[in-house]
């Protein structure tokens, strides 16, 4: 039902029944200073036809900009069947399977999703699922503290090459629970963590080391060397990975001698469009020995009394299922709709298709860096190899250039001035398989024109 058809008489009767004179009286506990008198730009009540026209006009005003920004959220091609299937009534309206036996379809989708994530990450088991990659990383830090019983420090080593938004979320969620997140500096010449930078932590009580792959700059970290350091120093390994890149790179389960303990990331690249910052869907996978410390839920495949295959919830660690004090997390969620989209997307691509997408992303990024760094005043900050992202150093501030590009219908990238001022005038750009040579040429012409104009001025 798209709306609730209460008449004025219906509303009046309900208010009389509960002893309230006006609808606003239901919200009288909100302090007056927190209320706004009006909402600028929001008109009075409209008819359905008027509302549809207004929405169409405002959507058209946004336009369709050429996108060269990633920074943790990526524009990928989404095959048409994905949302045609996801928006079917039996899927679109299905929620958490509290009565598992009556939700076999939902549980099977969860099981298939978990199987795909476990295979992609090279881990033993996956949950289904979390809000997004940032909260998944925070949950992984808390999970590592619970799982590493020999560690008493609750210290997490967090490289500065991890997405800054993810680092901030991890700090906010964990700081009230006694977790100490310590930042590890990176090499400003290579854009990666040098294993020797961990030397001062050797022999100390470290609970876990986070390894981004690829990192926020798009650079490929030496995951094997970092994982070996963690093992040698008694720390768990948390892999923060881009799932598309795993079609080409070694999965966390194979890092070093023994692999990562926990792998997290955002499944947004799988069938989830860019939409004003969300919603997204975080994933988490781990080694089997840590499974009881994993937040969320796990669906398993079994047989019933008659030997027929079926699905059930085999792990339910949320506060809805067990006592809150025993729950591994009170904020994780199933994100079932987006998890379903990711499952269908992966099933349509298959391993070979995903590998082609990843290879195309690397090729487009290489073409973009070549085109932009060929012009005066622009150079690549770090050497190959890289995936999705690349950092470019400019001879002038980035923000005014991005504003001018936006006026020309181009989202030119992410200004690193706020998060990484040590790099100077640094621009983070991204190209996925959706960018064509013509798109890259258009961006290069626009940027060249702006730089030439600025130099002449």
Q: Which of 345, 374, 394 is the last residue of a domain?
A: 345
Instruction: For residue 440, report the phi and psi dihedrals to the nearest 5 degrees.
Output: -65, -40
318 and 376 share one domain: no
Residue 27 placed within a domain: yes
Residue 255 placed within a domain: yes
User: Distance (Å, rounded) from C-alpha 122 to C-alpha 58?
Assistant: 45
301 and 181 share one domain: yes
Q: Could you check whether the bond before residue 129 is cis, i.e. omega within 30 degrees of 0?
A: yes
Residue 1 placed within a domain: no
175 and 324 share one domain: yes
Burial (0-12, 13-18, 19+ Cβ within 10 Å), 456: exposed
47 and 177 share one domain: no
Identify the pLDDT of residue 41.
79
396 and 301 share one domain: no
Q: Buried b vs exposed e over 11-25: b needs ≥16 C-beta within 10 Å? A: eeeeeeeeeeeeeee
Residue 3 placed within a domain: no
Residue 158 placed within a domain: yes
Q: Which of 345, 367, 387 is the last residue of a domain?
A: 345
134 and 85 share one domain: yes
Identify the pLDDT of residue 333.
59
71 and 138 share one domain: no
150 and 108 share one domain: yes
Region for 350 from its dihedrals, namely left if φ exceeds 0, alpha if ψ lies in -120 to 50, beta otherwise:
left
Residue 2 placed within a domain: no
120 and 199 share one domain: yes
Identify the pLDDT of residue 324.
57
Identify the pLDDT of residue 321.
55
Domain harbouring 390, CATH code: 3.90.1150.10
Residue 7 placed within a domain: no
What is the pTM for the complete model shown? Answer: 0.88
Domain harbouring 143, CATH code: 3.40.640.10
User: Distance (Å, rounded) from C-alpha 380 to C-alpha 365?
Assistant: 12
172 and 308 share one domain: yes
Residue 272 placed within a domain: yes
420 and 449 share one domain: yes
Per-residue pLDDT of the chain (457 residues; tens, 9 = 90+): 455 678 889 999 999 999 999 988 998 899 988 888 888 878 888 888 988 898 898 888 877 899 999 999 999 999 999 999 999 888 877 665 556 566 788 889 999 999 999 999 999 999 988 899 999 999 999 999 999 999 999 999 999 999 999 999 999 999 989 999 999 999 999 999 988 899 999 999 999 999 999 999 999 999 999 999 999 999 999 999 999 999 999 999 999 989 999 999 999 999 999 988 889 999 999 999 999 899 878 889 999 889 999 998 887 755 455 555 666 666 655 688 899 999 999 999 999 999 999 999 999 999 999 999 999 999 999 998 999 999 999 999 999 999 999 999 999 999 999 999 999 999 999 999 999 999 999 999 999 999 999 888 7
Identify the pLDDT of residue 84.
95
* CA dist list (Å): 407 to 23, 68, 87, 437, 457: 44, 14, 35, 21, 19
Residue 402: which domain range? Answer: 66-77+351-456
* Overall number of domains in the chain: 3
227 and 128 share one domain: yes
Q: Which of 296, 311, 345 is the last residue of a domain?
A: 345
């Amino acid at each position: 039902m798209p709306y609730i058809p209460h008449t004025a008489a219906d509303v009046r009767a309900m208010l009389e029944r509960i002893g309230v004179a006006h609808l606003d009286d239901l919200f009288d506990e909100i302090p007056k200073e927190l209320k706004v008198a009006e909402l600028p730009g929001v008109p009075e009540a409209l008819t359905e036809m008027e509302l549809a026209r207004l929405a169409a006009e405002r959507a058209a005003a946004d336009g369709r900009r050429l996108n060269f920004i990633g920074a943790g959220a990526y524009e990928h091609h989404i095959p048409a069947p994905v949302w045609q299937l996801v928006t079917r009534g039996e899927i679109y309206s299905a929620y958490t399977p509290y009565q598992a036996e009556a939700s076999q379809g939902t549980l099977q989708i969860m099981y298939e999703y978990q199987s795909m994530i476990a295979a992609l990450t090279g881990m033993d088991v996956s949950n289904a699922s979390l809000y997004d990659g940032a909260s998944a990383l925070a949950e992984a830090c808390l999970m590592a503290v619970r799982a590493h019983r020999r560690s008493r420090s609750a210290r997490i080593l967090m490289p500065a090459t991890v997405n800054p938004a993810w680092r901030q979320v991890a700090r906010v969620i964990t700081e009230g629970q006694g977790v100490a997140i310590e930042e590890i500096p990176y090499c400003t010449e290579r854009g990666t963590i040098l294993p020797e930078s961990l030397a001062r932590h050797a022999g100390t009580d470290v609970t876990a080391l986070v390894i981004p792959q690829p990192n926020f700059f798009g650079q490929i970290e030496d995951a094997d060397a970092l994982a070996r350091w963690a093992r040698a120093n008694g720390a768990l390994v948390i892999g923060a990975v881009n799932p598309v890149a795993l079609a080409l790179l070694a999965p966390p389960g194979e890092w070093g001698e023994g692999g990562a303990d926990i792998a997290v990331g955002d499944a947004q690249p799988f069938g989830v469009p860019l939409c004003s910052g969300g919603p997204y869907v975080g994933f988490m996978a781990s080694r089997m020995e840590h499974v009881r410390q994993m937040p969320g839920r796990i669906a398993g495949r079994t047989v019933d009394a008659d030997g027929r295959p079926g699905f059930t919830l085999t792990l339910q660690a949320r506060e809805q299922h067990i006592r809150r004090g025993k729950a591994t997390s009170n904020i994780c969620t199933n994100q079932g709709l987006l998890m379903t989209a990711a499952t269908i997307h992966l099933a349509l691509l298959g391993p070979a298709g995903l590998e082609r997408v990843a290879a195309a992303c690397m090729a487009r990024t290489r073409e973009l860096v070549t085109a932009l760094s060929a012009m005066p005043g622009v150079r690549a900050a770090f050497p190959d190899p890289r995936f999705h992202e690349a950092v470019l150093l400019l001879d002038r501030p980035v923000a005014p250039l991005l504003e001018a590009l936006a006026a020309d219908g181009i989202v030119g990238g992410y200004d690193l001035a706020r998060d990484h001022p040590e790099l100077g005038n640094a621009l983070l750009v991204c190209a996925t398989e959706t960018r064509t040579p013509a798109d890259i040429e258009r961006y290069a012409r626009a940027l060249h024109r702006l730089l030439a104009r600025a130099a002449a001025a």
